[in-house]
Structure 1
């Protein structure tokens, strides 16, 4: 092995073209997934206070956002509904309505922009009056098995609406197997499953809950089903179980504070791994930039490259559209 001075590693950093030539990891618009919030109405845009620059969109305007994403080279958008209050209930039955807000949004996007992928969130928190991801038992806990049965039917409703990927974000045990089984039984063999396999009970979800209208409704917390952030080996068990049950892709959420989990999952499994750069992470970057604590675009780009370096196939980020345009 060469040693200094024959070996000077700085030789490879001396010019921009050489740094680009030797870069080990690169970011492309197709690496980015854009989460979009949908609200009822017509020509309706509702800015989200805790997510500066992010809005809820009515379906007609959401279609325009999907077209912008496609034109910028983004291959997949992820939809999250803010269900009207009068459609929320303890049992979240609106999730099974084939004409619900997200199903209408899926159909509209696939009709207008057929070449972009659409991913739909499978969970009950946008539909329940209590803000939890599932049905509550008498003791106030979330009933795993009753919830799984509802989630499987929710996935079918979304697949029929045209969702290319269904994404269970609820963290119930056994839901991937149940969803894969019902998709196969109903002829949706090509509908993919992106499992939120390692979803932690995190402090980084606050703005998201405001965006979908579940935060103020939440009774208690979600630590009984989302993962303990002190654990890492458990994440690998969750990922392994979801892959065994039929998940096509897996996700780690949040992203930035869990790069170690992403890296361990990449070393352990061959499956595509995604990270969700959460609403709280987005808000931190925007707040830091607003105070002059750092150069906004540089911080965002450095973080997205960190996800790729850790082993991500793709990243869900609210910065997706502007970064895709910059990359182009």
Structure 2
């Protein structure tokens, strides 16, 4: 039985699998984890896969077990982070059109049950983390501070997207450490570029909520940058391109990487040229298109590594 349309969260696809197929009792928890909106999992996962691809030996692809482990880890840790965010933001979510149907503000589940779900997801993530080497474990534990700070950032700064970037791109460091047991300049510049990438795509995303945010006093880069957003996207996406290019060069990737980087950069340029910050539907579509960018860049890294 499908979920009534009135229970489908605003930025989820109407035909999402949770509302169509998931058991009724599981739906609130899967929605806390954003299983009905998987784009965030991909945006968290791509920096991890970029990094383990860069860290692989020349002429080889990434370790498939690490690909799987990071995939599961991104799924559960994105879910845990979103669950924590919804617990913290439940009073704000009731006042925003896009979020008022989330499970806690809509009464589909309680904050106490959400805490139990948060713990369950975190334990799965921890079980994966302890299978890595000591440096990767240390980096994984350190990321919890960024996850904890992010939901509060919009209360004290117009740049909460920067805090999201710090958290969402941590996999660029963690992936390299999981492969090599050390940190080098390639993952550092990849991480810095990823922060700029997140500033770009999440500013586009935040334009959906700018009217409600202004009314209730919540801050965002969409409110801070306003009509200048398109100019700032040039900076954000330019820094991401520079970071990805520098990471590829430092990792010794061969010439196919540069062709792939050009294709990926064209996708960012398309976003910049076509985004309509006054259309919520278009902002959501452009935001989601970053999944394609992540895939194109990962393919570029892989091609350059295999040809190295």
Give your verdict on TM over 0.5.
no
- TM-score of the superposition, structure 2-length normalised? 0.30
Query: Between Structure 1 and Structure 2, which shows a larger proportion of strand residues?
Result: 1
More contact order relative to length (CA 8 Å, sep ≥ 6): 2
Larger of the two Rg values belongs to structure: 1
